[in-house]
Structure 1
Amino acid sequence: MSSTTAERLLEAGLDELRAVGAETLTIRTVAQRAGLSPATAYTYLASKNRLYAELFWRFLLEDADVRPDGVDPVARVQWVTRRLGERLAAAPELAAAVTPALLSHDPEVEELRLRIGAELVRRFEVAAGDAGAEAVEALTLAFSGALLQAGMGLMTYAEMADRLDVVVAVIMRGSR
C-alpha cells in the first residue's frame, strides 16, 4: 500500500482505532473518517485485521533504523525488547488490536505477518551480534510469547519489558 488513498485510509484507521477501539471500528467508519466511499476503502483494506497488521507494520518501521543501545549483546537485546514494550504501552489501542489480527487466519494478513516476523528477527540479530541463530530464534520466540501474553491481558506491555530483561539474560548466557 503506497498510494495517497491508502495513506489517507491508514491515517483515518489509526485515528478511528484511537477514538473507538478495535471492537467498534469498521472499515466503513474508517472510510467515512477518510472521506472515501466504503467500496474504495475495501479495495485497499479487505478486513480490519489487514488494517491492524498494516498499522503495526508501519509502527515497527517508525524506528527500524534506530541502532540498539548497550555495551554488550545482552544489554542491546534488552534495549530492543524494552523499547518495543514501551512503545506498545504508549499505543494501547494498536497493541490490543494487533495480537488477534496477527493470530487470525485472514489471508490478507499473511504477508504482513511474515514481514513483521522478519523485522523482529532482524532486530534481534543486530542486537545479539554473534550470539548465533539458535539464540536469535529463542529471543524471537520469547518475545512473541510475551506479546501474546500481554495481548491476552496476563501482563501489561510495561511489565513485559521488565520480565523480558530476565529472559533475555538467560537466553544470551546460554548462547556463549
Structure 2
Amino acid sequence: MNLEATRRRLTEKQADTVDRLTRAAMEVLSREGFAGLTVRMVAAAAGVGTATAYTYFSSKEHLVAEMFWRRLAATPPPADEDSDSTTRVLAVLRQIAMLVADEPALAGAVTSALLGTDPDVAHLRYRIGSEIRKRLMDASGADADPEIVDHLELLYAGALVRAGMGYASYAEIAEQLEKSALRVLKG
C-alpha cells in the first residue's frame, strides 16, 4: 500500500523509507514507550540517517500520528449493507475504537500525539477526523443527520481519550461507546 505522507508526495523509494520508519517506530515504541521514543532512535532502527527521518517527520508526535493514520486508512470500513444504519454505525465506532487496542504502547502514544500542536499533526488530525466522519456518514445512510454524527464524533473522541488515559481498556471503552452511541441514535 502506498500512502501519501503528510509533508509531500513520495517516490517509490521515499515511500519505502517512510514505511521502514513507521515499522521501526512501532518497535522502538514497544520497547521504550512514547516518553522514550525519539526520531533519532527510530532512524537508527530503520537504518536511515536522522536528517532523513526529519525530512519525513517533523516530530515524534507527527510520526505516531502518521502511524495511526496509516492503520486507519489501511482498514476498510465494516461491510454490512444489509443491516440497519444503527448496526452499521455501531460497527464503525467499534472498529475504530479497537484499531490500536492490542498495542497499548501505540494506543497511549496516539492519544498523546494527536493532542500535540505540531502543524503536521494538525493536518493528520484533520485527515483522521474527516475519514472517521465519512465512515459514520456512510454508515448512517442517505438520511444521515450531521448533528447526530457530530454527537457520535464527540463520544468517540472522549472515549478514546479516556482509554488513552488508562481509565479502562479499549475493549471496555468500546462497550461503553456502543451503549452511549445507542442512546444518541435512539434519541
> Can you give the 5+ residue segments of structure 2 that lack an aligned partner in the other structure?
none
Q: CA deviation at 1:159?
A: 0.7
* 1:167 paired to 2:183: no
Q: CA deviation at 1:110?
A: 1.1
Instruction: Work out the percentage of aligned pairs sharing the same amino acid.
Output: 43
Q: CA deviation at 1:157?
A: 0.7
Q: CA deviation at 1:91?
A: 2.2
Q: Which amino acid aligns with 1:109?
A: V
For residues 76-127 of structure 1, the C-alpha deviation after alignment (integer angstroms, 9 at most, x for no partner) is: 1111122222332112221110111111111221110100000110111111
1:38-117 correspondence runs (5 A): 38-68=50-80, 71-117=83-129
Cross-structure match for 1:147: 160
Cross-structure match for 1:15: 27
Q: CA deviation at 1:18?
A: 2.1
* 1:29 paired to 2:71: no
TM-score, scaled to structure 2:
0.86
* 1:158 paired to 2:171: yes
For residues 141-166 of structure 1, the C-alpha deviation after alignment (integer angstroms, 9 at most, x for no partner) is: 11011111111112211111100111
Contact kept? 2:80, 2:88, Cα under 8 Å: yes
Q: How many residues align?
A: 174
Contact kept? 1:69, 1:75, Cα under 8 Å: no
Q: CA deviation at 1:9?
A: 1.3
Specify whether residues 170 and 58 from structure 1 end up closer, same or farther in structure 2 by C-alpha distance, changes over 3 A only. Answer: same
Specify whether residues 65 and 86 from structure 1 end up closer, same or farther in structure 2 by C-alpha distance, changes over 3 A only. Answer: closer
> Can you give the 5+ residue segments of structure 1 that lack an aligned partner in the other structure?
none
* 1:133 paired to 2:146: yes
Q: What is the root-mean-square deviation in Å for CA atoms of aligned residues?
A: 1.6
TM-score, scaled to structure 1:
0.91
